[in-house]
Amino acid sequence: MDDSARTDTQFELERPTSRLVDLVVPDDVRAQIQEIIDAGRMRTKVLDVWHLRRAIGSGVGLTVLLSGKPGTGKTVTTEILAAELDRPLARIDGSKVVSKWVGETQKNLKTALEDAALHGAVLFFDEADALFAKRVSKVESANDRFANLETNYLLQALERHDGIVVLATNIDTAIDDAFKRRLLYKIELPMPDAPARSLIWEGILRRSEAPVQRPIDFGKLGKSFALAGGHIKNAILRAGYRAATLGTPITYDLLDAAGAAELGSTGALVRS
């Protein structure tokens, strides 16, 4: 299928290249991600050759909930799932889906699901709690009633969708329990510890072609800055831009300064 065949989608299709081998996570989390990849590869055999689709009926989509603090790798994990399954990735832009007009959110979501199915894409809802939030238990206004109707529609649409859907949230308790019951896999991505942070610093630089002045004490960087992977990436970019401006290789001092700046941007006042 030509990814450029449709232009009126709710998203842009991407072709990620990240791989599971590059992800720094605990072994149990890696095993869970590998299980999802294996399930994605075996869907045709299990659902169609073994006829479990016919036996089970609706609700056979491969649905995943990724939760964790900002920067812990929810987006890159989704990119890895798409790359490992050789599928395009479709990120849902919440501002294009959610509408204040009655019925428009359902219409937009229906279009997004249909387009994702057309392209065989992994459909990614970032900050999913905005769309899949808990229903209002005590309906007191028309807005509450319409919000609950939208949530009910989303539940039905997700259950009918036959593709791969990933929901990402910083707070999984914000997701409606009925959605969570329909999700096949749920993974919580933890904050990396010091050894894992050291591997992230080193891995990003190793995979790049940036000039690096050795030695770099990656262990010290990992211990010094309690940063998630996304923040470490930002720190390395800061150091890279500074090095390019100065006309020098990336040095430990530049990485250290960038780590301190990124730590400050998170609201932390002291190093680990």
Q: What is the mean pLDDT of residues 104-124?
A: 88
pLDDT at 142 over 80: no
Confidence of residue 144 (pLDDT cuts 50, 70, 90): low
State the DSSP H helix or E strand holding residue 171, giving kind and residue range, or none if neither.
none
Residue 96 has what pLDDT?
65
Range among 96-110, 130-144, 157-171 rated most confident: 157-171
Q: Hey, which of 60-69, 106-115, 169-178, 237-246 has the most confident mean pLDDT?
A: 237-246
Residue type, 23: L
Instruction: Using a pLDDT cut of 90, give the percent of the chain over it.
Output: 62
First to last CA, the chain: 50
| Range(s) within the chain of domains with CATH label 3.40.50.300 | 13-188
Whether the link from the prior residue into 215 is cis, omega within 30° of 0, is: yes
Q: In Å, what is the CA distance from 35 to each residue of 16, 28, 41, 167, 171?
A: 19, 11, 10, 17, 23
Q: Are 22 and 202 spatial neighbours (Cβ–Cβ below 8 Å)? A: no
Amino acid at 9: T
| Tokens encoding 165 | 């859907």
Q: For 85-227, where are the alpha helices, taking DSSP H only? A: 94-97, 104-119, 142-160, 177-181, 194-207, 218-224
Read off the pTM: 0.86
CA distance 257 to 78: 30
Class of the CATH domain delimited by 194-265: mainly alpha
pLDDT tens, 76-105?
A: 999 999 999 999 999 986 656 766 666 777
SS3 of residue 269 by DSSP: coil
Confidence of residue 147 (pLDDT cuts 50, 70, 90): low
The boundaries of every CATH 1.10.8.60 domain in the chain are 194-265
- The confidence score (pLDDT) of residue 33 equals 98
Structure tokens at 150: 């939208």
Q: What is the pLDDT of residue 138?
A: 62
Residues 6+ apart with CB under 8 A from 255: 201, 216, 221, 235, 236, 239
Helix/strand number for the chain, H first, E second: 12, 6
Query: What 3-state DSSP class applies to 266?
Result: coil
Best CA proximity match to 253, nearest among 221, 230, 211, 223 = 221
Q: Which CATH superfamily does the domain covering 13-188 fall into?
A: P-loop containing nucleotide triphosphate hydrolases (3.40.50.300)
Which range, of 19-28, 33-42, 130-139, averages the lowest pLDDT? Answer: 130-139
Longest dimension (CA), the chain: 64
